[in-house]
Structure 1
């Protein structure tokens, strides 16, 4: 069975905030989404991606009750950005504690939602001559 990763306290708080909002992405999905937002060559501003994170079905994003809730989301965005930049990013996958399986599907859904924010850029990346980028994106597309 894979070890359960101990989350930093701010991520445990963020997990509770997202669960309370009901329409928001789950933590693993948000992590994949933010990774997709960060790697996009076009800057995607929080004013565009935050409503999607709070309500992926776009039925009208809920209002965050506390300013600290938004800070937690932005803190995680910055952590993903920093970790990707340093080559130390590790996706937050959920783990089925009963069977010990890594549940990667939510992370991939989040990543795909981010890519959908800039479909033309995603298509350009798939034409990229960098074989590592191409292989990674094709693999992620297959998973999604």
Structure 2
């Protein structure tokens, strides 16, 4: 298995997240752009975590790869016991919820933009520009940390 720097798909997904944040969200603070960012972050995390488990499986360190993304998320934290890794993944579950929730945007196209999400169970939460920036920073941190394991 090639290391992360040589994995073209990994690099493409990582660069896509950063591009959407640094370019698209700076120019267009619309709901669809935010949804694209959330989707790209989730796909990046899922892909990187899957690579981690493939490496463990190939090296016969685990018997099977967990079958769902949320099981892989829980298992990677359990296996590594790395607090920094866990911290860098803190937005993962929130973003998964956001992707499958009803959303409405307040102050669209402005710096004070807020997206209000409502889950099927009625739970509500908000994401603003500062949280989106924190998410982008956590992706960068995760990239550095996960490269130690893959």
TM-score normalised according to structure 1 size: 0.27
Structure number with higher helix proportion = 2
Higher relative contact order (CA 8 A, sep 6+): 1
Structure number with higher strand proportion = 2
Larger radius of gyration: 2
TM-score normalised according to structure 2 size: 0.26
